[in-house]
Structure 1
Amino acid sequence: MRKIFLFALIALSGCIDPFVVEVPEGPQYLTIEGYVTTIERAHQIRITRGDTYGSVFEGLIRPVREATVVIRDNLGNVTFLQEDLDNRGSYLTPSNFKAEVGNSYTLQIQLNDGKVYTSLPEKVAAPTQMENVSYQSVEIPVEGEVNPESGVQFIVDINDPVEENNFYFWRNSEATYVLFTRPDLYFTPPPGRAPAPKDCCFVCWRDESAPGNQSIFIANDDNFNGLSTTIPAGFIPDNGLRFADTYRVDLSQISISQEAYRFLRLVKQQAEISGSVFDPPPARITGNMISLDDPDEVVLGYFMAGGETKQEIYIKNTELDFVQPIAIIPDDCRVVEGANEEPPLDWNP
């Protein structure tokens, strides 16, 4: 009887139709992010549109292509941005563009469907110099794990101007580091899967996009107006590769508007929600972008303009108190994305 019951149960289960969840079509918010500063370079504005959730999580963020993007200042100067064809949805100013202290800048966008969006004007504050930048190892205990996570934290010393209220925002640039691999441990791919040691190459220099910018580092001078102070200004996680030898990165300090600071503070608070009952409920954070065709349309993101200073930093393994065990890559280092056999021409640790 037991066998008959099991056979009947299996037969019935084979006849069950899959349950398809119908997810209602949701809003596809336009998101605009980027900033211009007083340092001359090609500044980037990123335009994307969020997709709705469905039974398959595909295309949740889509680049917005072929838009007309311009930046206007309060003096009537107009700068056209060009779309980066290798990174669709990213629009770049000319390489010689820089914002001027005291001027106000407005971002204007026209999509290929004719819809027009604009930012509120952002006035450029004078940059404040970083008197000194230091770094230190930071260990982060992980519940249930023997080995902690870790990384390198940046600390800046600044002399805050006394004349006005100041707001600060720190960002990392793209970075380069010495990459060690083990080509002598190389195996042929399946199905053969046999030892096939390579003679080259063990050491490369690898470029990577700005690490650590997932965290937001901001400050205002309410508690140190007109004084010298020391502030944590960045953190780069240790993935077992970055700090095996020498790591180079630029740290930028941007003087931003009070409105931009409030926006970043809200984003930071949302990002740090831990999931406890004491957390504030998540909320949609709107920035300074508006639609000229539909004032009720929700547009996400913020266009900032600010005064920037930056410092180049070389982080040396020998000066760190703690680093992760070196991650093993059993192959020629040149096959790793972003790796080069020769160091950059300006490499000078």
Structure 2
Amino acid sequence: MSLNKIFCILLLSFFVQSCTETYPLLTNTYEEAIVVEATLTNELKTQEIKITKTSKFEDNQIQTEKGAIVTIKDNQNNEYQFEENSGSYKSKTAFQILPERQYTLQIKTTDGKVYQSSPETLTTVSPIQNVVPTLITNKDNITGIQINVQSYDPKNTSKYYRFEYEESYKIVTPRWMPYKVIVTGPESVQVIPNSADSRICYSTKNSTDIILHTTTDLAEDRVDLPIRFIDEENYIIGHRYSILVKQYVENLAAYTFHKTMRDIASSASILSPKQPGVIAGNIKCISDSKTKVIGYFDVSSVSEQRIFFNYSDFFPGKPAPYFDPCNDTFFNFCFRGPNCDGDSMIYTIEENLMTYISNAGLRYTFTPVVCGDCTSFSSNVVPPFWIE
């Protein structure tokens, strides 16, 4: 969930708590403010900062803040300029956050307002040790794969962690056929060779939850966190699966900010009598103290690790799960008569609703397109990091 929507939920919570009647989830009062999402790390890369405007709860699109001058400065007179790029601001040159330096974010918007963060320093560098997939046979009566991330800081100085993951998976269409049907006329079709490019695809999705962990109540600064559970019937692990886990070490203030955001975003937070409190970021409008801004300038060390596994590694001999039962549909390819389905079949082919399985004369068998052509919902481009 974006910071925009979380901010709107926070506003709505005050309305919901003040009345007992049904309240429509529409924004009757709206105050525009900029929303800053900035996490800079010790990776040598093009750093990215997102600056948007608060949106109403019922809005479907997020409006970006355009034309801003975005700068990062450190306490050794180094300055890094950012430029607009694909809906965000990216550094003009690659750089990394270095230890024992103080970094400050400054934003000047087109209306002349200037926003500035507090000086922030890099947190302890604590690398991920392992990302471990384990077969779990009884998690709420469900069998599946539990993925844990493990790390250890022997100096006991990290304490506060935030995690993200990116999962990628191989899709093999269960009903792909070497032939397909094309429409050649108002009442004619032709069976031709099918491209193998529509048989195997790859999809990638990013985590959306705010995943936090602290070791303050432990004797050691050791992390062993369940970060993802996947049901054995989930098709994303049906062939080959990969997960890239990122671990950010945060300071207490950043951790508290993200914890507040997570609590607001939880489904029960609006109706709960225990509200998460005020969002206290580290960015202020220094040109106008009355102007509101939401967001946090986060300077964190980051570590990442990627693993792969196959479905057969944990479920040998078991058929791969798929999200669609792939039931067959039959068409009589004729146009005049009580049992003729020619028009429906032509429409199905032209709208790419189903794919061809076989035919016996004028009786054709089709299956849902997702069962025979994975490019209908995914990409057949192999990710550059993929290993078989």
The answer as to whether partners of 1:286 and 1:299 remain within 8 angstroms in 2 is no
Equivalence map 1:39-188=2 (5 Å): 39-52=43-56, 57-84=58-85, 87-88=86-87, 90-94=88-92, 96-136=94-134, 153-164=146-157, 166-173=159-166, 175-181=167-173, 182-184=175-177
Q: Among all aligned residue pairs of Structure 1 and Structure 2, give the percentage whose two residues are the same amino acid.
A: 22
Structure 1: gaps of 5 or more residues = 1-21, 142-146
Deviation readout 1:201-246 (Å, 9 max, x if unpaired): 3533424342x2x212222221225354422245678994422211
Distance in 1 between residues matched to 2:234 and 2:372, nearest whole Å: 16
Q: Quote the offset at 1:92 in angstroms.
A: 1.4
- Distance 1:345-1:130 versus aligned 2 partners, 3 A rule: closer
Instruction: Identify the match of residue 195 of structure 2 among 191, 194, 200.
Output: 200
The aligned residue for residue 348 of structure 1 is: 387
Tell me if the contact between 1:103 and 1:124 (Cα under 8 Å) persists in the aligned partners.
Answer: yes
Q: Which residue of 2 aligns with 1:16?
A: none
Residue of structure 1 in register with 2:298 after alignment: 304
Match of 1:339 in 2: 380
Structure 1 residues 59 and 347 mapped into 2: Cα distance closer, same or farther (>3 Å)? closer
User: 1:11-60 CA deviation, whole Å, 9 max, x = no partner?
Assistant: xxxxxxxxxxx97451123111121111122222111112335xxx4455
Letter of the aligned partner of 1:77 in structure 2? N
Cα distance 1:291–1:248, how it changes in 2: closer, same or farther (>3 A)? same
The DSSP-based 3-state class of the residue aligned with 1:41 is coil
The more displaced of 24-33 and 255-264 is: 24-33
RMSD: 3.7
Distance 1:204 1:169, change over 3 A: same
* Kept in 1: contact 2:129–2:152 (CA 8 A): yes
Residues 200 and 77 (structure 1 numbering): CA distance in 2 closer, same or farther, change over 3 Å? Answer: same
Change (3 A) 1:77 1:137: farther
CA displacement 1:271-320 (0-9 Å, x = unmatched): 23436975523655242221122223221121211111111111322244
Normalised TM-score (structure 1) = 0.74
Partners of 2:104 and 2:117 within 8 A in 1: yes
Which whole-Å deviations, capped at 9, do the CAs of 1:49-98 have from their partners, x for residues lacking one?
12335xxx4455211222211111222211111211xx32x111246321
Cα deviation, 1:95-130, whole Å, max 9, x if unaligned, reads 632111222222211112222111222210121122
Residues 58 and 238 from structure 1, CA distance in 2 versus in 1: closer, same or farther, beyond 3 angstroms? farther
Q: Equivalent residues in 2 for 1:215-234 (5 A)? A: 215-234=209-228
Judge conservation of contact 1:52–1:60 (CA < 8 Å) in 2: no
Who is 2:255 aligned against? 261
Higher-Rg member (1/2): 2
SS of structure 2 residue aligned to 1:82: strand
Change over 3 Å in CA distance of 1:237–1:264 after alignment to 2: farther
Q: Which amino acid aligns with 1:263?
A: F
Distance 1:151 1:199 in 2: 35
**Contact 1:243 1:323 survives alignment (8 Å):** no
Q: CA deviation at 1:323?
A: 10
Q: Distance in 2 between matches of 1:303 and 1:235?
A: 31
SS of the equivalent of 1:154 reads strand
